[in-house]
Amino acid sequence: QVQLQESGPGLVKPSETLSLTCTVSGGSINSYYWSWIRQPPGKGLEWIGYIFYSGSTSYNPSLKSRVTISIDTSNNQFSLKLTSVTAADTALYYCARSGVAARNFDSWGQGTLVTVSS
Amino acid sequence: QSALTQPASVSGSPGQSITISCTGTSSDVGGYNYVSWYQQHPGKAPKLMIYDVSKRPSGVSNRFSGSKSGDTASLTISGLQAEDEADYYCSSYTNNSLGVFGGGTKLTVL
């Protein structure tokens, strides 16, 4: 049973860079798509983007200029960087797995809350 | 890329059936048979309930079913149970290999 665990700072200052890592255990990071999805407090889900194990990526156009997703297959981890954050980026950030691009997210992390505040 | 449209809330009594709609465009819901549905209980991560419009992952009750007509997909829950009370989100694959979610629907079991 694959497990995903997000990690990173829970507090980020405005204009700085949000950095999160998702560690995959109980299964290989190969042959899957790995996504980041966020949920502002009390609001709905927003797809941020994905990376394929080979390194190809796709990003939400509304965030594309600020987002980078990378992968470290040797350590079964993938990461999210979001630059120039504002209070609007405060959210619960989930990492998730899918066998196909941008859909059918069958395994999720528990989520990590990131607050943007000075 | 706009969010898919879902009703904010639906409700039903135990044993009844309810349907949640998810409306998109020909660039997402209408253009591909790649709609999925997620159940989210408070404080928990979402759980995949339906994928590729109408397929159920192993372990998901057959009380949950999905369908699509044109630009609108639907999730139907039959034999409503108290444990079904949760938020439900639809999601679709879109042009250029992107993903998009609906705004979410709160299901209340009366």
* Rounded average pLDDT over B15-19: 98
Stretch B64-71: mean pLDDT: 98
What does the pLDDT look like over B70-88, one tens digit per residue? 999 999 999 999 999 999 9
pLDDT of residue A25: 96
Question: What is the three-class DSSP state of B105?
Answer: strand
Q: What is residue A74's DSSP assignment?
A: G
Residue B67, helix vs strand vs coil = strand
Half-sphere exposure of A6 (CA within 13 A, CB side): 28
Q: How confident is the model at residue B96 (pLDDT cuts 50, 70, 90)?
A: confident
pLDDT of residue A45: 97
- Partner-chain contact B100 A47, CB within 8 Å: yes
Answer whether B93 sits within 8 Å of A60, measured CB to CB: no
| Partner-chain contact A45 B38, CB within 8 Å | yes
Tens of pLDDT along A9-61? Answer: 999 999 999 999 999 999 999 989 999 999 999 999 999 999 999 999 999 99
Assess contact for B109 and B12: CB atoms under 8 A: yes
Which whole number is the average pLDDT over B19-30? 96
- Of residues B76, B53, B21, the one with CA closest to residue A103: B53
Give the whole-angstrom CA distance, residue B70 versus residue A67. Answer: 33
Of B45, B51, B98, the CB nearest to A104: B51
Q: For residue B52, which residues of chain A lie inside 8 Å, CB to CB?
A: 104
pLDDT band at B21 (very low <50, low <70, confident <90, very high): very high
Query: In B, which residues are within 8 Å of A109 by CB distance?
Result: 45
* A98 membership: H or E segment, kind and range: strand A91-100
Interchain contact, A47 vs B93, CB within 8 Å = no
The pLDDT assigned to B2 comes to 84
DSSP β-bridge partners for residue A67: A82
Residue A107 to residue B49: CA distance in whole angstroms: 12
Distance from CA of A19 to the nearest CA of B (A): 20
In this complex, the residue of B47, B99, B103 whose CB is nearest that of residue A102 is B99
B89 inside 8 A of chain A by CB: yes
pLDDT of residue B57: 97
Contact A34, A76 (CB under 8 A): no
CB A24 within 8 A of CB A97: yes
- Res B11: pLDDT: 97
Task: Return the number of CB contacts < 8 Å for A and B.
Answer: 67
Between CA B76 and CA B19 the distance in angstroms is 4
Contact present, B92 and A103 (Cβ < 8 Å): yes
Using DSSP's 3-state secondary structure scheme, residue B55 falls into strand
In the prediction, which pLDDT does A82 show?
Answer: 98
> CA of A42: how far to CAs of A80, A86, A108, B69, B104, in Å?
22, 18, 19, 30, 11
Provide the pLDDT for residue B95.
87
B66/A contact by beta carbon, under 8 A: no
The C-alpha atoms of residue A37 and residue A54 are separated, in whole angstroms, by 20
B46: nearest CB among A100, A101, A108: A108
Contact A47/B at CB under 8 A: yes
Is the pLDDT score of B1 beyond 80?
A: no
Average pLDDT over residues A64-75: 96
Chain A contact for B97, CB < 8 A? Answer: yes
The pLDDT assigned to B26 comes to 94
